[in-house]
Amino acid sequence: MLSGAMKIEYDIKGMSCQHCVRTVKSALEKIAGVTSAEVTVGHASVESSRDLSRDEVDKALDDEGFRLAN
C-alpha cells in the first residue's frame, strides 16, 4: 500500500459470478483516487489516495447494477 493510502472494505449486493467481480472491479477503479481494488463475490477491498464518500462508491456501483450492502 502506498504511503498515505487508505484501505476501505465494502460489502456489495447483487454479485453472483466472476463477470460481476470484473464489472465491480472496473467500476471501482474508475473512481478518482482509487489506486487498486481487490474484489470477490460480495466483497471489495479498495485502496485509495483519498477518503471516498459512500455516495460516490454507491453511485459507481449502481451505474453497473450493484449496491453497497447496509
- At residue 2, the pLDDT reads 53
- At residue 3, the pLDDT reads 61
Cell of 62: 449502481
- At residue 70, the pLDDT reads 79
More confident residue, 6 or 5: 6
Q: Is 29 exposed, middle or buried (0-12, 13-18, 19+ CB in 10 A)?
A: middle
Question: Domains (ranges, CATH) in the chain?
Answer: 6-68 (3.30.70.100)
d(Cα 1, Cα 59) in Å, to the nearest integer?
Answer: 25
Q: pLDDT of 8-31, one tens digit each?
A: 999 999 999 999 999 999 999 999
- At residue 5, the pLDDT reads 82
The model's pTM is 0.91
